[in-house]
Amino acid sequence: MASAGGGPRGSVRPERHVQTGRGGNGGSSSTRTKSAPPKRPSSSSAKSSIDSDNAADAVRVRVAVRLRPKNNEDFIEDGDFTSCVELQPEAKKLRLKKNNWSSELYKFDEVFTEGASQRRVYEAVAKPVVESVLEGYNGTVMAYGQTGTGKTYTMGRLGKDDPSERGIMVRALEDILASISSLTDSVAISYLQLYLESLQDLLAPDKINIPIVEDPKSGDVSLPGAAVVELRDIDHFNELLQFGEANRYAANTNLNTESSRSHAILVVHVQRSVKVKDENEGASVVSSTDDLLAASNHVPIVLKSKLLIVDLAGSERIDKSGSVEGPMLEEAKFINLSLTSLGKCINALAEHSPYIPTRDSKLTRLLRDSFGGTARTSLIITIGPSARYYSETSSTILFGQRAMKIVNTVKLKEEVDYESLYKKLECQVDSLTSELERIQKIRQDEKAKIERKLRKQEDSLAETKRTFTTKCENLEKENNCMTMEIKKLMEELNDALDQNNLLSGRIVEMEMSLSQNKQQQLENSTYKKALSDSTQMYEDRIKALLEQVEKEQARCAYLELEMCGARQEVANNENSSKMQENSKVNELQKELHKLKEESRNEIQHLEAKNSELLSEKDLIYEELKSMQEKVMQEAKHRRSLEDEILKLKKALSENSAVQLERGTSMLRTTSGVGGGAIYLPRTGKSRDTIPNQKDTISKIFEEVGLSNILALLKSEDLDVQIHAVKVVANLAAEDINQEKIVEEGGLDALLSLLETSENTTIHRVTAGALANLAMNGSNQGLIMNKGGARLLANVANKNDDPQTLRMVAGAIANLCGNEKLHVKLKEDGGIKALVGMVRSGHADVISQIARGIANFAKCESRAISQGHRKGRSLLMDDGALKWMVTSPTTFSASTRRHIELAFCHLSQNEENTRDIITSGGIKELVRISQESTRDDIRILAKKALNSNPAFLREIQ
Q: How many helical (H) and strand (E) elements, i.e. helices and strands, does the chain have?
A: 34, 20
Is residue 723 within 8 Å of residue 669, measured between CB atoms? no
CA distance 914 to 568: 79
CA distance 97 to 91: 17
Is residue 888 within 8 Å of residue 896, measured between CB atoms? no
Distant-in-sequence, close-in-space partners of 197: CB < 8 Å, separation ≥ 6: 334, 337, 338, 361, 362
* Residue 147 labeled ligand binder: yes
Annotate 597-617 with b (16+ C-beta within 10 A) or e (fewer).
Answer: eeeeeeeeeeeeeeeeeeeee
* Residue 145 labeled ligand binder: yes
The residues that bridge with 701 in the sheet, in sequence order, are: none
Backbone dihedral region for residue 322 (phi beyond 0: left; psi -120 to 50: alpha; all else: beta):
left
CA distance 575 to 652: 104
Backbone dihedral region for residue 652 (phi beyond 0: left; psi -120 to 50: alpha; all else: beta):
beta
Backbone angles phi, psi at 226, to 5 degrees: -75, 140
Distant-in-sequence, close-in-space partners of 142: CB < 8 Å, separation ≥ 6: 308, 309, 310, 312, 367, 370, 377, 378, 379, 380
Q: How many CB atoms lie within 10 A of CB 858?
A: 21
Q: How many CB atoms lie within 10 A of CB 54?
A: 14
* Residue 886 labeled ligand binder: no
- Please tell me the chain's helix, strand, coil percentages from 3-state DSSP, rounded to the nearest 5: 60, 15, 25
CA distance 708 to 660: 7
In single-letter form, the type of residue at position 103 comes to S
* Residue 433 labeled ligand binder: no
* Residue 159 labeled ligand binder: no
Backbone dihedral region for residue 148 (phi beyond 0: left; psi -120 to 50: alpha; all else: beta):
left
CA distance 557 to 389: 107
* Residue 148 labeled ligand binder: yes
80: nearest Cα among 705, 916, 639, 775 = 775
In single-letter form, the type of residue at position 73 comes to E
* Residue 895 labeled ligand binder: no
The residues that bridge with 86 in the sheet, in sequence order, are: 95
CA distance 388 to 209: 38
Residue 662's alpha-carbon distances to 655, 659, 795, in angstroms, are: 10, 5, 33
* Residue 382 labeled ligand binder: no
Residue ranges at the known binding site for ATP: 145-152
Residue ranges at the known binding site: 145-152
